[in-house]
Structure 1
Amino acid sequence: MIRNVLIAIVCLVTIEINAQEQKADSVKYWKGGGTTSLNFSQVSLSNWSGGGNNSVAGTFLFKGFLNHKKGKIAWDNTLDLGYGLTKQGDYKVAKSEDRLHLTTKLGYENGHHLFYTAMADFKTQFAIGYKDPLVQSVKISDFMAPGYLQFSLGMDYKPSDNFSLFVSPLTSKMTFVNDDALSHEGAYGVDVDEKMRGEYGASLKMTAQKKDLIKNVNGYTRLDLFTNYSENPQNIDVDWEFGFDMKINDYLSAVFKTNILYDDDIKYINSESIEEGPRVQVKQMFGAGLSYAF
């Protein structure tokens, strides 16, 4: 009887050890992490002779990654989220930041840090955007209006976790405008009353980051380029972002970033509602607040 019990205990322990070894073996091929921050600013005026408005603003930012590498197979995933609100005086609450960007890449290593790679890239925003955000009478964007989905096949040069250069001669780009009013206007390059536009061309995606450019200051950049083979291939769509994360201590940080966009399909509408063609778009943000890295 005792012998049978001992044999059963040994078998259970062996099964548990094997399960733990398999679990550890499967987890060791994964690497993940990210940073999240919540930034605030506030101005309060009382009998201020110089004039001005009371204001309060808050912005939530998140950047995360989850990568898998086993043998010659590499699977990289990144998620970039941002949402910010601001309130000035008696005006309505308006958004100051709004982004949802997900990228996934599956590659097969060919040696010399080169990977045959398939990539999917998705971009949109969370909420309604207005041309006049303080009054909010002219709607110009919403969730999936626009939304961009891009599929690419090409080569990825990745000498380290801090740098990647992906070049694709075969890229499919889909622009979605899932809003009836914006679709009816033919916004973001879709045909009038259509909600999707397909383009085929070539693309480039470069990402780089550098820790401790100077003490406690990290830098990063991302550059996305796309050209349409069949329509004005010389007019290249550009999405370039660069910025700095400045660490104050374990829980306080400051963030500065700039985003520069050019899309030949996005026409600038002036204050008199007259279309003036595409323009370079620039957004800058500086904030300080709570942060956490994992």
Structure 2
Amino acid sequence: MYFRCLIVLVLIASQIPVAFSQQSESPTDTTLLKSLKQYPRKNTLPVRRPVIFPETVRLPEPEMLELSINYWRNWTSFGVNVNQASFSENWGGGGVNSLALGGQYTFKTDYTKGDKNFVSDLILQYGKLKNKDQLSRKTADRIFWDNKVALKLSKSWYFFGSINFESQFDRGFSFSKNAQGNEIRTLLSRFMAPGYLTESVGFEYKPVKYFFVRIGTGTARQTFMIDTNLYKTNPKNFGVEPGENFRNELAFQIVGAIDKDIAVNLNLKSRYTMFANYEKLKSIDNRLDLTLTARVNKLINVSLAGIVLYDDDTANEIQASQALSLGLIYKFPR
């Protein structure tokens, strides 16, 4: 009897794992286990969102904070150009030893507050060239200072008043040779001979920062000649009566300018001036200055500059000049 009971217990124990394995292999239970493993049950407890109550904070007055606004913006640049060439005495291709040196300084300041604007632009240029066995010559010589005050009338129109001064540093000559073949020079101009002072009032159209057109309906220009004997070598005498040192003109003037980066590291700067004397409208003075500057790196620039001028008080035909230079330039702020 005891032996039979032991056999029954063994058989029952051997059937228990089989039953559990059959239950685990059922599709319903397998899916449920997998879902429990892969996608744990989310927390069903409610989450309370924070409630934000914005409040207005009153800041102290600017005077109490000791804050100040600087309405001035300044730009300054220095530039130096050097060109040198030398040849040995037996150089088969021919050539002449030469040395050229040029410098430029520019300064611009801008003050803008509300509808009021003031701009001052200063340009100083001077360059000299010396070839062997020749007299030295100028390659650049200019003093230019322009000042403008404007009051905004609308989005793109301003009422302005301006004063402009222009002259040169050094004497200017024309060169020729005498009967013996020696080089001689004839004086044409010098500092404040001529010197120009121009006052103008009118309206300015400025749709964008890099472009403007001034229409000076009331413009006066004074021409100064401190050398009253210059007419002996320059008969035109820049429109001033021989022996006199002053001339005043009333005119209508248009000035247009653009200063824009037209590509990466490439800047275009141009200024056009038309001056129409009310006494002789048939003869209108025109001047176009154009400068294209390519920036090689932070210190080296390549520039191509040109000037086209018609002024019958200087010459009866159109005058032109062109200069290509490679040099060092430093600007700040950088």
Please report the TM-score for the alignment, with normalisation by the length of structure 2. 0.75
Contact kept, 8 Å, 2:120 with 2:148, in 1: the verdict is yes
Q: Which residue of 1 aligns with 2:239?
A: 189
Do the aligned partners of residues 93 and 71 (structure 1) sit closer, same or farther apart at CA in structure 2, a change above 3 Å counting? same
Distance 1:19 1:132 in 2: 69
Q: Which residue of 2 aligns with 1:149?
A: 197
1:244 partner letter: L
1:109 maps to 2:159? no
1:50-199 matches, cutoff 5 A? 50-132=93-175, 135=183, 137-183=185-231, 185=235, 187-199=237-249
Deviation at 1:167, TM superposition (A): 0.4
Distance 1:245 1:18 in 2: 45
Do the aligned partners of residues 219 and 186 (structure 1) sit closer, same or farther apart at CA in structure 2, a change above 3 Å counting? closer
Contact kept, 8 Å, 2:98 with 2:131, in 1: the verdict is yes
Distance 1:126 1:136 in 2: 21
Runs of 5+ consecutive residues of structure 1 not aligned to the other structure? 1-16, 268-277
Contact kept, 8 Å, 2:106 with 2:121, in 1: the verdict is yes
1:287 partner letter: S
Q: Which residue of 2 aligns with 1:284?
A: 322
The residue matched to 1:131 in structure 2 has which SS? strand
Correspondent of 2:274 among 210, 225, 234: 225
Report sequence identity in percent.
Answer: 29
Q: Aligned pair count?
A: 263
Contact kept, 8 Å, 1:177 with 1:183, in 2: the verdict is no
Deviation at 1:215, TM superposition (A): 2.3
Contact kept, 8 Å, 1:165 with 1:206, in 2: the verdict is yes
Correspondent of 2:252 among 202, 206, 218: 202
Correspondent of 1:240 among 288, 313, 316: 288
The residue matched to 2:104 in structure 1 has which SS? strand
1:143 partner letter: F
2:272 partner letter: L
Runs of 5+ consecutive residues of structure 2 not aligned to the other structure? 1-61, 178-182
Per-residue Cα deviation, 1:123-156 (whole angstroms, up to 9, x for no partner) = 1000101011894531000001111111101001
Q: Quick check: which one's strand share is greater?
A: 1
Per-residue Cα deviation, 1:16-59 (whole angstroms, up to 9, x for no partner) = x969946x42xx21111033211111111112122221011011
Deviation at 1:234, TM superposition (A): 2.5
Distance 2:284 2:190 in 1: 24
Do the aligned partners of residues 290 and 206 (structure 1) sit closer, same or farther apart at CA in structure 2, a change above 3 Å counting? same
> Which of 1 and 2 has higher RCO (CA within 8 Å, sep 6+)?
1
1:266 maps to 2:314? yes
Distance 2:155 2:330 in 1: 35
Per-residue Cα deviation, 1:198-233 (whole angstroms, up to 9, x for no partner) = 11110011110111x2321111110011001112x0
Which stretch shifts more, 60-69 or 101-110?
Answer: 60-69
Do the aligned partners of residues 78 and 133 (structure 1) sit closer, same or farther apart at CA in structure 2, a change above 3 Å counting? farther
